[in-house]
Structure 1
Amino acid sequence: MKKLIAFFILTALIACSNEDQTAPSLEASIKDSSVLTGKMLSFKTEESFIKEYSDLAKLNSEEIKNWVSSKKMVSLLNTSDTSKGIEADAVPESRLVYSDALEAILNSESKVKIGDRVLWLNELNFYILPANDIDKSADELLSIKNNLEVFGQLLSSSQLKKSTTGRDVLPNENRVKTFASAEMNVSGSRLRHVVDVFNETIVLNDKIYTSKMYIRSILQYRSCSTFSCSWKEASNLRMLDSDFCQSCVPGAWGVIARVSTTSPVSGTQTYQIANWAPYTPLALYPNFYILGPITCQIYGTVGFSSMELSWY
């Protein structure tokens, strides 16, 4: 009997050991998806590029930063300014926003290699760079971008059911809706919580590869000089929570993920909240829908804000 029990224990240990070896962590699997070629990441195919992007989109902001560090690359995420465009009291109705996942993959000059093509992202277009232009700076490329071939897009076609090339489009592709809370007075500082709800739809070679909905949370403080005041990113710790309607989303978007921190966060935080997945065999292109509040509690203080979010 003792031998039989020992046999089962040994079998279980071996099974667990094999499971550990065959189920690598998400971070480890992401590391193997791309290689650093010169100053940019290189992918074998469009599919491997999208897979890495989608894997990164599931991580929180700190995990993505750690992944970027492991790649030994200066990414766009390292150099971008998340408060750009929202320094004034009135936030714009819309602005250009990229996800942390996309900025992590692009180098500081917004370049990436897929197959034998080097692509440069400028605003909403992926341009193919000829061999002679690969090492040019962003400023140099801007002067010749009208001569470059467009290979992919982050295209906003909210009023169309078909793109100019005939492909189906998702309503409100790559649009952004920005919300700003009322001011919170915390220990003499004037703070506000700014939230972007945005869509990121990646089109390569005229094919929709992925469409995701994100929420970006930014805490800002009021900074004043002799002549003017503006809003800058604050470093205060905060807790976030949301209460979105779970039965309002069209089926192709699935259930909206809840934004709820279990420990205090600081800096800009980006969360994937929904992922478009067309039904088979009929691909549906429904508009996204969100309803409900997101709250921000300044950690250790009475500073609190709540905003009702919505989409177009």
Structure 2
Amino acid sequence: MTTPQLNRSKNRAIVQIESKGWGLVLFSTNDIARLLQDRWGIRGKVDSVVPGTSKVFRVETSKQLYYARLSSSRRGFSADQVVEFINFLGNWGAAVPVIIPTQDGQLAEPIGNRCLSVERALPGTMCDSTCLSILPEAGKQLARLHDISVHFPGRLREKRPVRDFVGPRLRSVLWSRIPNEAKEAITSLTDSLPSGLLDVPVAWVLTHYDLRSANAIRDGENVAYTDIGAVFQPRLCDLVMVQDRWLLHDPAGDARPLTIEETRQFWEGYIALNTLSEEEKIVVGIIWASYSADRLSHWLCTGQKLNVWEFRERLATVPELLRFPEEILNA
């Protein structure tokens, strides 16, 4: 069977959309419905998953539920490569959505520097705070995803020093729109990081990048992942974000960080299939602290109930994260 490929030429329907001047801003549900009918032969009710946005669309037919997704480039990874990567994961047995090719066998349709793809909805329901017993299985499935990702053509597993992640991440915070007082706090954090550990090499892979329970689908005791970001960075990044992000915007309404014990359960599931190196155990706190500082600055920039004084106070606790993983790994 011929493997579906990306169609890199513009079709008539897309030219009509772009000629309206919408470019890469917003596409209405009617626009997406027309493309689905023209290119995939799919007729159904189309709704935006997040009202007012044009990234993911729910497509319901009389027989099947699909999701249409507009993918963008991600840190040197083009939009079409994101779709190819998800398709690759599925072909290798990862628990991810199945990409539905167009009627002429293409994986997706390019729209400017984005592309539209269609995936069959995963069976089951979103994970949330009422089903935290699946955390070990969620960790195992992430480990499988990481293991498969290193086989994606052109993306071999690499080892790079921690500073290759930490440096750009903290510099981007300093270049952001946060107040000078907050930048001083970031500079202080940067100076406090153990310089001798920044050259320690760790494994880089294509990560999920948005490990929230809403992006994990539970079907009985099985867990599958959707909305995969395909960002090339230390695999530890996916592990450290779980504590902060898993219950972010919790579908069941219990938004909070995971406890140490809950985080440990996820990590144990991961480590059961994909052990951490001694080097990773040494530096995971540095990556955790850098990630947390970046998230705090994002909240400050977007005005999510965090003023500069709260920022400084919470950032002052970030160095404690240098030791926090020890509580998980040694529990």
Q: What TM-score, normalized to structure 2?
A: 0.24
Higher relative contact order (CA 8 A, sep 6+): 2
Q: What TM-score, normalized to structure 1?
A: 0.26
Q: Which has the higher strand share?
A: 1
Q: Which has the larger radius of gyration?
A: 1
Q: Which has the higher helix share?
A: 2
